[in-house]
Amino acid sequence: MNEKVFANYLIALEAILSNKLRSLLTALGIIFGVAAVIAMLGIGAGAQHEILEQIKLVGVNNIVIKPVIEQSEGEVEQVKASMSRPKFSPGLSLKDAQSILEIVPGIGKISPEIVLDKYIIKSGIRRSAKLVGVTVPYFNISNFNLEEGEMFTEKQLEEGERVCIIGNDIQTKFFSEQDPLDKMIKVGDQWLRIIGVLEPRIITGENINRLGIRDYNMDVYVPINTVLIRYRDRSLVTKIDIEAAKRTEDMANATDGQVGGQNAEQSNYHQIDRLVIQAEATGTLVGLADVISRMLERKHYGVVDYEVEIPEMLIKQQQRTNQIFNIVLGSLAGISLLVGGIGIMNIMLASVMERIKEIGLRMAIGAQKADIIWQFLFEAMLISISGGLIGILLGMIIATGISRLADIPTIITPASIVLSFGVAATIGLIFGIAPARRAASQDPITSLRYE
C-alpha cells in the first residue's frame, strides 16, 4: 500500500516538474497569501510586545495623579469667581499622599515624585538632566532594578542626605572609565554621593511622547526630602517668591509669550509633580480613581487643580485597537489564501480535462480510482506546500523591510510559521479533492477515445 502511494507521489511530482511555469503561476495565490499572513502576524506580535513594554514602563495597576499648574476658566466661571471669594488650594503635596495611603483601602504602594531641571557638572563636563526626588516604592512601582550599588536607607530618606542613584546613561557619559559608586557629582548647586546605578531602560521616542514619560537613563534620583530640604519646596511661599512672581507677571504683560514657561514655573504652587498609586487589584482601578479624586477635591477646597489618569486603561484601549487592526489585516490575508486555493482548484480542474487520455491509459493498465485520487491530491498539495514555503520566506523579508523602513517592530514567531504552513497544506488538500474526484470518475474507455 505504501509503495503504491509513494509511486503516485512520484507521478504527481513528475507532472509538476514537467510544467514548472504553470505550477508556479498556480502557486502565486498561496505564496502572496502566506506572505501576507506572516507579515501581518509579525506586525501584530511586534505591536503586542511593544504594548507589554509600555505597561512595564508605566507600571502595573497604577493610578497617576498630576498637578494642573495653570487653569483657564470660561466666562461663566470668571463671573462666579468675581462675585464670590476665590478659593485657595494648597496644591498636590506629600500630605495628600500620606492621607490616601492611610484612608483609602486597596492601595498597595504609593510614590510621590518631584522633578526639577538641573545641570550635572563633572570634570569640566556639563549636561542637562532631571533631578527626581522619590521614595523607595518608586523603583518597585516602575520596575526599576539596580545594576550595582544599594537602595536608599530609612535614615537617608528621613534626613534628606546628599546621596543619589544615577541612570545608566549618566554612568556612561561621566564615569566611563571608573566605578561611579561613592564618587561625588554636582547636580545644580549641591554635591551628591552616588550610591547606586540603575539598569538601562530601552525607551523609544514614540513611547516618550505617547505615554508622557521621560528618558529615565538620564535621571538622577535622590530622596524626596533631599529635594525639599536642599533644593526647593514649592509649598513654602516666601516674600522672595511673591516678588519674583510679580516681576514675572509684569514682564509677561510687557512681552506676552516670551516668558510663558518662567511664569508657569513661578505660579507652580504644588509641592510634588506626580503621584503614582498602585492598586492591589486591577479591577478596582476605576473605583479607586473616583474615590481618590473626590478625596482630593475636598482636601483642595473644591479646586480641581489636578488630573487623575489610569495609564493601563489607555494602553488596553490601544491594545484593543491593535487587535482589531490585526483581525482586519488577517482577514485580508485569509481572503488571499482563499483566492489562492480557488486558483489551485481551477487549474487542477483544467489539468484534469487536458489529461483525460493519460487518466484513461493509467486506469486501463490497472490503476484504481484511489490511485488517481492520490495522484491529483499530491499535485495540489505539493503546489500548495511549495507556495507556502516560498510565501514564508517572502513574508519574513516583507516583515523585515517594514520594520526597517517604517520603524514598526515586527516579531516572527515559530507559531506563525507553523500556522501558515499548516494553512497552506490544508488549502491544498481541501481544494484538491474536487479535481481528484473528478479525475477518478472518468470512464477509462471514453477517456482513451478522448481527443
The pLDDT of 296-325, averaged and rounded, is: 76
- In the three-class reduction of DSSP (H, G, I as helix; E, B as strand; rest coil), residue 299 is classed as helix
Q: Of 282, 304, 326, which residue is a domain's last?
A: 304
- Give the count of beta carbons closer than 10 Å to the beta carbon of residue 324: 10
Alpha-carbon gap, residue 357 to 174, rounded angstroms: 83
Whether residues 29 and 86 share a domain: the answer is no
**Residues with Cβ within 8 Å of residue 78, at least 6 apart in sequence:** none
Whether residues 146 and 294 share a domain: the answer is yes
Alpha-carbon gap, residue 263 to 248, rounded angstroms: 6
Higher-confidence position of 252 and 297: 297
Q: What is the 3-state secondary structure (H, E, C) of 125-180?
A: EEEEEEEEEECHHHHHHCCCCEEEECCCCHHHHHHCCCEEEECHHHHHHHCCCCCC
Alpha-carbon gap, residue 423 to 336, rounded angstroms: 12
Alpha-carbon gap, residue 310 to 45, rounded angstroms: 24
Burial group, residue 145, by CB count within 10 angstroms (0-12, 13-18, 19+): exposed
Q: Of 253, 283, 304, which residue is a domain's last?
A: 304
Q: pLDDT by residue (tens digit) across 272-283?
A: 999 988 888 767
pLDDT for 206 equals 53
Whether residues 130 and 223 share a domain: the answer is yes
How many domains does the chain fold into? 2
- Give the count of beta carbons closer than 10 Å to the beta carbon of residue 5: 12
CB–CB of 256/96 below 8 Å?
A: no
Alpha-carbon gap, residue 310 to 125, rounded angstroms: 39
β-pairing verdict for 62-67 and 274-279: antiparallel
pLDDT for 136 equals 92
Range of the domain at 387: 2-55+316-449
Rounded to two decimals, what is the model's pTM?
Answer: 0.57
CB–CB of 168/147 below 8 Å?
A: yes
Amino acid, single-letter form, for residue 385:
I
CA-wise closest residue to 170 among 225, 222, 136, 121: 121
Whether residues 155 and 227 share a domain: the answer is yes
CA-wise closest residue to 90 among 82, 99, 101, 81: 99
Is residue 186 included in any domain, yes or no? yes
Is residue 332 included in any domain, yes or no? yes
**Cell numbers at 57, concatenated:** 514602563
pLDDT at 339 > cutoff 60:
yes
- In the three-class reduction of DSSP (H, G, I as helix; E, B as strand; rest coil), residue 239 is classed as helix
The Cβ-side half-sphere exposure at 108, using a 13 Å CA radius, reads 17
Range name among 44-53, 132-141, 151-160, 391-400 with the lowest pLDDT average:
44-53
Whether residues 196 and 330 share a domain: the answer is no
pLDDT for 74 equals 41
Show contacts of 256-260: CB within 8 Å, 24+ apart.
none
- Backbone angle region of 106, left / alpha / beta, with phi > 0 → left and psi within -120 to 50 → alpha: left
The pLDDT of 15-33, averaged and rounded, is: 79
Whether residues 100 and 202 share a domain: the answer is yes
Range name among 132-141, 220-229, 434-443 with the lowest pLDDT average:
434-443
pLDDT at 268 > cutoff 50:
yes
Range name among 63-72, 210-219, 244-253, 369-378 with the lowest pLDDT average:
244-253
CA-wise closest residue to 309 among 61, 64, 55, 58: 64
Whether residues 31 and 131 share a domain: the answer is no
Instruction: List C-alpha distances in Å: 368 to 4, 8, 362, 432, 440.
Output: 10, 11, 8, 18, 8
